Amino acid sequence: MIQFHPLNAIFGFLVVTMVSLTSVTAACTREGLLAAAESYVAAQTNGKLDGLKLADNFIYQQDNKKTDVKSGVLSQPLKVDLNRSTADTTACASYTMLISSSGSKPYVIGTQIRHNGDDTSSIALIDTIAATTGDLFFNAKQTLGYIQKENWGTIPEGQRPSRDLLKKYGDAYLDMWTDAKAADSIQWGSDCERVEGSRLTKPCGGQLPRGGSLKPNGMRRYVIDETIGSVDVLCQFDSLGNMPDSHEIRVENGKVKYVHTITVQ
């Protein structure tokens, strides 16, 4: 029999702490995040939730509103032309962009997926911005044409932007409508491209907003992937009138290379 002793208590505490630390660092892997994102793309293709492992506290949010998933776009089958996912192992979240251009109702969708703690084996939140015909600059075929030509490959180690820089650029971009100085706090690549809905601006550092609105863009949710040099921010575009929105930015060599926006109007 083990007698109670303060050292046993301390040892026990250390073991518990070490076990939980180990599971924290081991569980939220890139592979786990991307597998969950893949299961989401498959579910969207089928319009069926069967293949998704949803947590007990699962929430579906579409266009910034909690929605019954059965009435959401995820419950309609879509032929997916393009999908691309990034993974944020720090926040334990992923971002997926998908384009469905050929159906009777085309879509360009940006989705962040979140998990309970670091457990990627089930999905706690599917948070979707789903733009379709009638939304801001919407033309899925044209968007697909631009985005198919882009390179979102892995950035070699040593050349990756820091998490802080990606967060800073994501925020500064969304601050341009309210802060006249925000645009100049970002380094714009000379050959960068901005695809807003289906509208292309090249180089992307031209024609930028410089303040003017008093309402900061709110409800910001981030997925940051240093290996791809990307940040996606889902938000409510309050500066121009409460629009559900996704802004995704890729940074190469410290400068903005691509910007994608999906805006529901």
Shortest distance, position 98 Cβ to ligand NAG, whole Å: 8
For ligand NAG, the closer CB: 37 or 224: 37
**Integer Cα distance of 34 and 113 in angstroms:** 10
User: Is 35 or 80 the residue whose CB approaches ligand NAG more closely?
Assistant: 80
In one-letter notation, the amino acid at residue 207 is Q
Does the protein bind ligand NAG through residue 46 (CB under 6 A)?
no
Interface with ligand NAG (CB under 6 A), residue from 41, 97, 155, 234: 41
Q: How far is the CB of 85 from ligand NAG (least distance, A)?
A: 8
Nearer to ligand NAG, 175 or 232 (CB): 232
State in angstroms the smallest separation of the CB of 57 from ligand NAG: 27
Size of the site for ligand NAG (CB under 6 A): 4
Q: Which is nearer to ligand NAG, 30 or 167 (CB)?
A: 30
Pairing type for strands 199-201 and 218-225 reads unpaired
User: Restricting to residues 67-126, which ones interact with ligand NAG according to CB under 6 A?
Assistant: 80, 83
Residue nearest ligand NAG (C-beta atom):
83
Complex with ligand NAG: residue 41 or 136, whichever CB lies closer = 41
Q: Does 208 bind ligand NAG (CB under 6 A)?
A: no
Residue 45 interacts with ligand NAG (CB under 6 A): yes or no: yes
How far apart CA 85 and CA 94 sit, in angstroms, is 7
Positions touching ligand NAG (CB under 6 A) are: 41, 45, 80, 83
